[in-house]
Amino acid sequence: RDIGLLGIPLEAGGAVAGTLMGPAALRTAGLAARLTGLGHRVHDHGDVTPAAVADRDLPAELAARCRSAGTVAGFVRAAHERALSILEAGRMPVFMGGDHSISMGTVSAVARHCAATGRDLVLLWLDAHADFNTPATSPSGNIHGMPVAMLCGDESLRPLLGEHRFPPLAPENVHLFGLRSIDQEERRAIALNGLDGIDMRLVDEFGVSVLLRRILADLDPARTHLHVSLDVDFLDPEVAPGAGTPVPGGATYREAHLVMEMLHDSGLVGSLDIVELNPFLDERGRSAVVLAELTASLFGRSVLDRPAGQRGIA
């Protein structure tokens, strides 16, 4: 495949500085070489240059309730524009964050591209958190806890994207996978809106393969564009310590690879975010390397050759 890497060095959406080094750490971990080694063509589009947006350019309510709203808006708008042009060039984008608010820019661009090309966008959110807060419900004011709400059409967050318009995601096409930390009002909103939530209790009870297969089996390969948004805190902090909001009890190394391998075999994935990597908190690049290895699994790395017939047992 023709892959386009794009760095989005944003840290203002979270409380802990350091995710702005995420794209650099993923490059140092050899992300591009791992993908070219699998036979893909890789173009590194560099890092986005944020648009100039000040807090006073945004609705007063939004700027008052959200930390660094102007800075986040500047990155979100620039990411959206760059993402759209990579998609229009026919490349499969890999977005390197940056905190998770970058997805407001990337996924909204994917949604526009899907609408233009007649495909259904399905979102797989691999994360300890639901990121479904709004300015009204957020206990922290950190925008990285809000992208899913924005992508589902929350009006109060829409000004972050400026003049750009995108079709909001249908809640039934949003799958939150790996959940183990949700705020009280956020939890109510998830139920009210009908998002599909897979928490770690389900993962323990049924395993990732049954749960993921159930999601993938419902998707029409001819129509579906699956966007995968991988938050480093989907992984257990023992596996990936470079996370600003770590939560114990996360996915193991093997569970995460299995998810990526199954996603590869599905042939449905059209775009990827790798977010929340904080190299300042990492241990000698371990988390960056794990994320680069997981990305390789998503793009077809496997231990043995797997003939087509051997892919799905059920």
Residues that bind ligand ARG (CB under 6 A): 100, 129, 131, 133, 138, 140, 142, 144-145, 183, 231, 233, 245, 276
Q: Which residue has the tokens 């300890």?
A: 128
List the x/- string, 201-240, binding to Mn ion by CB under 5 A.
Answer: ------------------------------x-x-------
Catalytic residue among 45, 80, 144, 227, which? 144
Please report how close the Cβ of residue 278 comes to Mn ion at its closest, in angstroms: 12
Q: Are 274 and 288 in contact (CB under 8 A)?
A: no
DSSP string, 83-124: HHHHHHTT-EEEEEESSTTHHHHHHHHHHHHHHHHT-EEEEE
Binding site partner of 224, from ligand ARG, Mn ion, none, Cβ cut-off 5-8 A by kind: none
Binding site partner of 145, from Mn ion, ligand ARG, none, Cβ cut-off 5-8 A by kind: ligand ARG
Active site residue 155: no
Burial category of 299 from C-beta neighbours within 10 Å (exposed 0-12, middle 13-18, buried 19 and up): buried
Cα–Cα–Cα angle for 23, 243, 251, nearest 5°?
105
SS3 label, residue 223: coil
Active site residue 100: yes
Catalytic residue among 11, 47, 154, 231, which? 231
Q: What are phi and psi of 274, to 5 degrees?
A: -120, 110
Residue 241 in tokens? 């310590």
Pick the closer one to Mn ion by CB: 48 or 274. 274
- The residue number with the shortest CB distance to ligand ARG is 145
Active site residue 273: no
Catalytic residue among 99, 154, 255, 276, which? 276
Active-site residue numbers? 100, 127, 129, 131, 144, 231, 233, 276
Binding site for Mn ion (CB under 5 A): 100, 127-129, 131, 231, 233
